[in-house]
Amino acid sequence: MKLSLIIRDQEFLNAFLEIAGRSSQDITIEILTGIEQGAEYRHSVKKDGFMYVTDYDRKEFISICGQEAGENGVFLGEEGDEQDNSREFGPFSMFKYERTDHLLADIRFIYGVLSGEEQGQDVEISRMSVFCDGDEIAGLDFCNGLARQIVYLCGCSVLVFPLTHIIREGMGNQGVSQNFKRMMYHISSGKAISASAFFIEDEYGVHHFRIPGGTNPFCDMSAREILGVTKCISDRKFDVVIFHIGASCTKQAVNVIRSCGRRFWLHSSGESDPADGLPGRILGEKECSKGLVSLDYKDLQGYREIMSEESIREILSI
């Protein structure tokens, strides 16, 4: 992603540069001294890959830099813009005082809309699934803990993919919901979009889909949309994808479990035998034991063992 910044607010600029510098994505930043220099450069994403980000007034910017520059610009102000989900060109307006990391993720999304899909390569992804017999909060905690350990110990790029009916830890607010709908529009209509638009990286280096809390939109997606999301995962070159299924063992979720090399079943102490418990019921007696790690919710020693460096490297076959 290549950004041309024309920012008058020096404090904001410093905070933005700090967040961008910590990002795992390759970002090229050009800092211009004023709106007149923007008129001189006349960037566009299609021409030279640069997109303008500015806190100047939209009308003033366009009057000096031109309409094409405006259509390749993100304008930061006191309020955002509730835009049509099908919109494919600017100018785009965003709330300037959103959390800086969320703002950067929004800017990535807009850049993806303007630039189109990044060319990805077929890569081998380590797929894991986490399902349980009821306590989905414990399941989510386990997913996040496992992902953080993999990032910390092995330096891998990890995505936590939610397949529970309810998402309890959403990434953002209503504006994020609008962006997600726009992304789904692009996928379902066959339009290209940058893979980086889908994800946000948390403070531990773990990636998550940029969707708000509430009903999980992945539970009601068409096959074409799911394939589009899967393609984006491959293009993003994640080393590990952890599917958080929780207790939502739908037909789609069971197929995901079957496709995973590692499966983690979190259970209560009364459900210790996989063949007699949930794995046997949904996968069958022969299939349930393949790559399955069984863990009692309350077994802290077992939890620590799974999260150990030796265990993590064995799970990843490193």
Three-state SS for 201?
strand
Tell me which range, 9-18, 184-193, 271-280, 291-300, is most confidently predicted by mean pLDDT.
9-18
pLDDT digits (tens, 9 = 90+) for 208-240: 887 777 888 887 765 556 656 766 666 666 889
What would the two tokens of residue 75 be?
């304008």
| CA 284 to each of CA 52, 254, 269, 275, 290: distance values in angstroms, whole numbers, following the listed order | 55, 11, 21, 8, 11
Domain annotation for the chain: domains and CATH numbers? 2-115 (3.40.50.2300), 126-315 (3.40.50)
| pLDDT of 10 strictly over 60 | yes
Percent of the chain scoring above 90 in pLDDT: 19
187 vs 35, higher pLDDT: 35
Selection from 204, 222, 100, 98 nearest residue 160 by Cα? 204
| Range with lowest mean pLDDT among 63-72, 136-145, 176-185 | 176-185
| pLDDT of 6 strictly over 90 | yes
What would the two tokens of residue 181 be?
């709908």
pLDDT at 80: 61
Q: How far apart are CA 27 and CA 29, in angstroms?
A: 6
| pLDDT of 30 strictly over 70 | yes
pLDDT at 186: 65
Tell me which range, 12-26, 98-112, 184-198, is most confidently predicted by mean pLDDT.
12-26
Q: How far apart are CA 248 and CA 246, in angstroms?
A: 6
| CA 50 to each of CA 4, 111, 115, 317: distance values in angstroms, whole numbers, following the listed order | 6, 9, 10, 40
238 vs 194, higher pLDDT: 238
| Range with lowest mean pLDDT among 16-20, 147-151, 275-279 | 275-279
pLDDT digits (tens, 9 = 90+) for 150-190: 999 998 989 998 888 888 766 655 555 666 776 666 666 66
pLDDT at 145: 94
pLDDT digits (tens, 9 = 90+) for 75-111: 998 766 655 434 566 788 888 887 777 788 778 878 8
| CA 127 to each of CA 55, 142, 267, 271, 287: distance values in angstroms, whole numbers, following the listed order | 42, 15, 21, 25, 16
| Range with lowest mean pLDDT among 28-42, 72-86, 210-224, 238-252 | 72-86
